[in-house]
Structure 1
Amino acid sequence: MSAGTVEIRRSGSTAVLTLRREAKLNALSTHLERALLRALDDKAVTTSRAVVLTGGDKVFSAGADTGELREMTPEAITAYYRDSGAVYEKVAALPQPTVSAIAGYCLGGGLELALATDFRVADPTAQLGLPEVGIGILPSSGGTYRTVRAVGPARARELVLRGRRLTAAEAHAWGLLTEVSEQGAHLGHALRLAEELAALPPLAVAVTKRVIDVAADSPRESSLLLEQLAYASLNQATHPPTEDPT
C-alpha cells in the first residue's frame, strides 16, 4: 500500500475508512485528501448505513500538511478549497451517520476532519487542538465554525486563539467528544455506536441530520417550520395513505 492512501473495509452495515500515512502521522496532504474524496464515493461507502473514520491505533491526524499550502497564492488556495480541500464538507454532508475513532494526535486539520463527523469517540491517549493561529493562519476547513458551534465562543477562543491542547477527558467535558473509550478500545467503541445508528431508518437519519444542521443556524420560527415539513414528508414516506376502497 503506497503512502497517503485510505483503506476501505466493511464491518457489518458500517464502512470503515482508515487514513494510511502513518510515517507522517497521517498529515492531511492534498494526496491524502483526494484519496479520502475517492473513498467516499466507493460503493462500500455509498451502500453503507454508517461510516467510521479513523487514523488507526496511534494517531488520528497531526494536522494539515502546511508545507504544501505555505507558498500558495490566494488564487491557488481558492482552487484548493474547490479541489481536495472540499473533502471536509463532503464528510459533513454524508447522509449516513458518521463517527470518528480517535487516538493520539487529533490536531489542526485532523480535528477539523473529526469535527465534520456527527460523533467523536476517543481513546484516553487522544490530544485535540487547533494550533493554526500560532503559525500565522487559522482553521479554515470548517474548524473555526464547527468549534464555535460545539463549545461556544468563549471556549472556541481558548482553542483557536490560545491554541490550547486538550486531553480526551477535557475535550469530553467541553463537548468536543461524544465519548471516551477504554485504552485501545476507541475503534470497537465507535463501531458499536455506528452499528446502533445503522439500525435506524436511513431516510429518517438523513433528513434529521440536515434539520439539525440547519436548526443550529436558523431562527426559531424557521426551525419549527422545517421540523414540521420534514415530519410530514417522513410520515408520508413511512406510512403512505391507503387507498379508500370505496
Structure 2
Amino acid sequence: MTVVIERRGKVAVLTLSREHRLNALSLQLEQDLLDVLSTSDVTSSRAVVFTGAGRAFSTGADVDEVRGLDAAAIAEYYRASGRVYEAVAGLPQPTVSAVHGWCLGGGFELALATDLRVADDTAVFGLPEVGLGIVPSSGGLTRLVRMFGTARARELVLLGTRVPASDALRLGLVTEVTSVGNDVARAVELAAKLSAQPALAVAVAKQAIDAVAESSAAASLLIERLAYGMLNRVDDERPE
C-alpha cells in the first residue's frame, strides 16, 4: 500500500508512502489514495491531513507511466485514478496539507486541492510541466487562477518558478511556515481545531466558497443567504 492511514483522535492523517521515489504520484499511488478516501477511517473523521513520507511531500506525477499515452488512454486516466485530486477537493471535511521538501507538479496540485497548507522551512513548491512540454492538468492551473489571478498563475506555470516556503507564505500559497520537521504536528493541530467546528456548517461553507468563486455578486449573496437559511434550521453538533 502506497498510502498509510493514521487516526489521531478525530483527524485522519494520510501519508504518501513511496519514499524511494520521493512520493512520485504513480497510477497505483493515486488509486490507493482514491481507495483510502472511502475507508471508514477517513469517512468517520472530522478533518484530514495529507503529507509525504521521508524527504518530500511529492515530486509530482510519475511521468514515465503516462508518457506517450494517446487521447483515449488519457481520457480514461481522468475517469480512473486521475480523478483523485477532485475527490480530495470534494471531501466534506476540512483538509490540511503538511508540506516538507519538494512539492512539485501533481504534488503541488494535490496540496492546492486541500483547504489549508502548512509548510516547514524545507518546502519548495513548483509546477515544472510546461518545461516538460505539457501543462498542469489535475486542477492546479484552475485553482491557481481562481486563487491568485492570471498574472501569478502565468509566473508559476509558464516559468515553472520554484517557490521556497518563505515566499510561499508571502504569496499566500501556504497558511503558515513552521520550523523543520514540525509541519505535520502543526497541520494536525490545525485539523483538530477544524474538527471541533460543526461538521455540516464546515461542509456547506466549503461548498459555498467554491461556488462563490465562480459566481456573480448577486449569485454569491444568494448562495450565502441560502446556506445561512438552511443551517439556521439545523441542530448540528457543537464544539465540545
TM more than 0.5: yes
Seq. identity, %: 58
Aligned to 2:164: 167
Helix, strand or coil for the counterpart of 1:237? coil
Q: Deviations over 1:154-193 (max 9, x none)?
A: 1111100001000001011111111111121000000000
Query: Is 1:59–2:52 an aligned residue pair?
Result: no
1:200 pairs with 197, 201, 210, which one? 197
- Distance in 2, matches of 1:46 and 1:219, equals 33
Instruction: State the AA in 2 paired with 1:156.
Output: A
Kept in 2: contact 1:58–1:104 (CA 8 A): yes
Q: Which has the larger radius of gyration?
A: 1
Aligned to 1:242: none
Q: How far off is 1:150 after superposition?
A: 2.3
- Distance in 2, matches of 1:90 and 1:99, equals 14
1:95 pairs with 92, 95, 102, which one? 92
Query: Is 1:7–2:9 an aligned residue pair?
Result: no
Aligned to 1:127: 124
Instruction: State the AA in 1 paired with 2:156.
Output: L
The correspondence of residues 1-246 of structure 1 with structure 2, limited to 5 A, is 5-238=2-235
Q: Deviations over 1:41-81 (max 9, x none)?
A: 11000000000000035200001011111110011000000
Helix, strand or coil for the counterpart of 1:64? coil
Q: Deviations over 1:199-241 (max 9, x none)?
A: 00000000000000010110011111111111011011138xx
Instruction: State the AA in 2 paired with 1:159.
Output: L
Q: CA RMSD in A?
A: 1.0
Instruction: State the AA in 2 paired with 1:46.
Output: T
Kept in 2: contact 1:124–1:168 (CA 8 A): yes
Q: Deviations over 1:131-153 (max 9, x none)?
A: 00001000000010011122221
Aligned residues: 236
**Residue segments in structure 2 that go unaligned for 5+ positions in a row:** none
Kept in 1: contact 2:6–2:14 (CA 8 A): yes
Instruction: State the AA in 2 paired with 1:185.
Output: N
Range with bigger deviation, 210-219 or 151-160: 151-160
Kept in 1: contact 2:88–2:114 (CA 8 A): yes
Kept in 1: contact 2:118–2:174 (CA 8 A): yes
Kept in 2: contact 1:57–1:184 (CA 8 A): no
